[in-house]
Structure 1
């Protein structure tokens, strides 16, 4: 069964146009496998690191490392199950008169998500469904049927990429910060800590690129993100801005963990409040919408996303002015209140990385949105919500966060 978003998305409106190439290719299938391996390895590396801290009697580090893993898993299970429930509203009915989505009934889906394997279930469904399409492609399908099947796969891949994005910012980014701080605090690190940092970094990078490409591919009225230079500049912009922000937080942690907690709480509150003021309508229930706005608030503490369809130039400018101020202030504050660290090599290296990363991130940001950002003649590619005010049904994909 195809997600219900397909029937809504594949209609071309007067203000948009269908993308012409919607093929779910063999390369795309292999990249999905790579994404699964990165996700699996990142989680299990962090679980192994939590166990190591526990055995070393570093109970606080063990608990925090595990807490970030649990937070990412919990939120992704909530939204994965909610989206399956949405799809079940228009689902097929099996011989027992039960609605089924991707071969699973409501009771089965509840059990899957209570066990915390919702994302793995989605990976299995997508890989299984797409395998028969890309590796054993049926010649009997005409052009329209083929496009329908391939487009349905991209809809499912976009749901999965959104969940991976949630996981990356609720688990991988905080984990990256925590492990960097522990290394700074102890002055030495184990191989497992470095492995955890590496896989967290790659998981963040992969999630950002995969989400952006899948989302634009699943919206027929939005131009697809070109590969090559535009993708490279975009990912450099995100990685330099996020990386320098994480490093600035690591210096503030050395100054005072309470300072970081207070700063994060303030930025999270402002991000959540902004989502509330904009009146996001991402979820079909009020309780899920509240959770969604809370999650968006956490994402906005690390990087900028367009929460709802609107011109975001002013919002983005304000965001990155505050972001740059925080980044530049962290080494100044640490150097002022703890002058003894000014001669330390780690302080000099990290301060240089923060300043250089911030500058390069802003340069790549301006370059991307000025010269490389794909745009439509009528509808700007950054818009997220309805194509027109007269459209009553806004599909799930069009309400996703837009990078």
Structure 2
């Protein structure tokens, strides 16, 4: 594949964008179905709770989307890019922008625009369209991650809580649970792939790397959500306290990282709060530097926390009503977390892109520049500054084990 950005969009890229749109619409439909089923069954409390989570998540995602697009409005209006999508043109006005996001359509607008520009970039080999496509898809991947974590993770916990509490479930509930777990792991993988779009081809995730990355994230998120659901069965009024007690140190941790991701300080505080919520469920790196110590501390902390949650449930459970699933659940939680650790270690040892990549003397430019971004992106007229920051946080180059290469350290995702 050519290194020129104008030729880096493939049919597979377009398919992934389209599948992302379909999964987004599928998630919205599934959530609406869950809320409607609760209402029809007369479970108004759970219906209201599900609806509140759904609307809250949508508001958070739309706020991020609006802040980003509003902050980028002048750049997107640059006269160097006259061939904008009609949908995006209509959204560039402040009033129209607020209207789209107020109607909870901002995220959908991004998807439609990315598909339109992506198809045109692929068909006409237009560099301008390609830059906008990459720009929008990068934002979409992170918005999708926010949407999945803020919506699917709490909804999934709620569904598991109800099933375990009633000790029964219907087939469609099992289907929804499996789909939600897979959606979370896929969103994390898609976010990872988006970060690497600005990196050289040798740093892209190969199939085995992507599969192992997807698998260990899936294996980590399953015991985390199961542990929270089990704890909520016995101490449902304390689950919010637990959430606050975990999110507070995560927020302080995010604050100490000194992030500079949003356009102003209030938005930055909002972003750090969102990161704290994500860290409640899964790992996310937001600062530059080697991550092995951070990840070790984080996963150790999560393992202890999950153990405490399951331990409290074990001590206060009803041995009779829970006898049918106690042992299988405990085995599943423990084995899933341990297997996740093993696969993650294997991934970093053998399948991480900096391990599987083939380096040559021509790759000397793949080092961090003074501004912290890779030289391969310097020719791009439009760079997504948000993904630039996160790319610097997640990825730094592995040096060529050769005397011609500089001795720099790598930060693995």
TM-score bracket, shorter-length normalisation: 0.7 to 0.9
Note the C-alpha offset of 1:325: 1.3
Which of 114, 118, 128 is equivalent to 2:106?
118
Instruction: Say if 1:19 and 1:224, in contact at 8 Å, map to a contact too.
Output: no
Distance in 2, Cα, partners of 1:242 & 1:77: 25
Note the C-alpha offset of 1:177: 0.9
Distance in 2, Cα, partners of 1:89 & 1:341: 64
Instruction: Say if 2:156 and 2:177, in contact at 8 Å, map to a contact too.
Output: yes
Corresponding residue of 2:97:
109
Question: Could you state the TM-score of these two structures normalised by the residue count of structure 2?
Answer: 0.81
Q: How does 1:191-206 map to 2 (within 5 A)?
A: 191-206=171-186
3-state SS of paired residue (2:39): helix
Q: In terms of mean alpha carbon deviation, does 18-27 or 60-69 score higher?
A: 18-27
3-state SS of paired residue (2:169): coil
Moved over 4 A (4+): 18-22, 376-379
Instruction: Say if 2:261 and 2:268, in contact at 8 Å, map to a contact too.
Output: yes
Note the C-alpha offset of 1:306: 0.8
Instruction: Say if 1:278 and 1:308, in contact at 8 Å, map to a contact too.
Output: yes
Distance in 1, Cα, partners of 2:107 & 2:188: 17
CA RMSD, Structure 1 to Structure 2 (Å): 3.0
Q: In terms of mean alpha carbon deviation, does 329-338 or 304-313 score higher?
A: 329-338
Corresponding residue of 1:265:
244
Instruction: Say if 1:327 and 1:354, in contact at 8 Å, map to a contact too.
Output: no
Q: Structure 1 residue 291 and structure 2 residue 279: aligned?
A: no
Distance in 1, Cα, partners of 2:341 & 2:284: 15
Note the C-alpha offset of 1:72: 1.8
Q: CA distance change for structure 1 residues 101 and 202 in 2, over 3 Å: closer, same or farther?
A: same
Corresponding residue of 2:258:
279
Distance in 2, Cα, partners of 1:21 & 1:125: 18
Note the C-alpha offset of 1:303: 1.1
Q: Structure 1 residue 158 and structure 2 residue 138: aligned?
A: yes
Q: 1:268-289: CA deviations, max 9, x gaps?
A: 1111111111111110122211
Distance in 2, Cα, partners of 1:222 & 1:395: 20
User: Which segments of 5 or more consecutive residues in structure 2 lack a partner in the other structure?
Assistant: 395-412
Distance in 2, Cα, partners of 1:192 & 1:51: 14
Which of 337, 348, 352 is equivalent to 2:331?
352
Corresponding residue of 2:406:
none
Instruction: Say if 2:107 and 2:140, in contact at 8 Å, map to a contact too.
Output: yes
Q: Which has the higher contact order (CA 8 A, sep 6+)?
A: 1
Q: 1:11-39: CA deviations, max 9, x gaps?
A: xxxxxxx7879611111111211111111
Corresponding residue of 2:12:
27
Question: Could you state the TM-score of these two structures normalised by the residue count of structure 1?
Answer: 0.83
Distance in 2, Cα, partners of 1:119 & 1:169: 15
Distance in 2, Cα, partners of 1:75 & 1:369: 33
Q: CA distance change for structure 1 residues 22 and 239 in 2, over 3 Å: closer, same or farther?
A: farther
Instruction: Say if 1:241 and 1:358, in contact at 8 Å, map to a contact too.
Output: yes
Distance in 2, Cα, partners of 1:350 & 1:176: 16
Distance in 1, Cα, partners of 2:145 & 2:218: 14
Q: 1:92-115: CA deviations, max 9, x gaps?
A: 379xxxx99932232221111010
Distance in 2, Cα, partners of 1:49 & 1:168: 16
Q: How does 1:67-82 map to 2 (within 5 A)?
A: 67-82=52-67
Instruction: Say if 1:335 and 1:342, in contact at 8 Å, map to a contact too.
Output: no
Which of 329, 340, 347 is equivalent to 1:361?
340
Aligned residues: 368
Instruction: Say if 2:247 and 2:277, in contact at 8 Å, map to a contact too.
Output: yes
3-state SS of paired residue (1:340): coil
Distance in 2, Cα, partners of 1:343 & 1:62: 25
User: Which segments of 5 or more consecutive residues in structure 1 lack a partner in the other structure?
Assistant: 1-17
Distance in 2, Cα, partners of 1:72 & 1:280: 22
Note the C-alpha offset of 1:154: 1.8
Q: CA distance change for structure 1 residues 271 and 221 in 2, over 3 Å: closer, same or farther?
A: farther
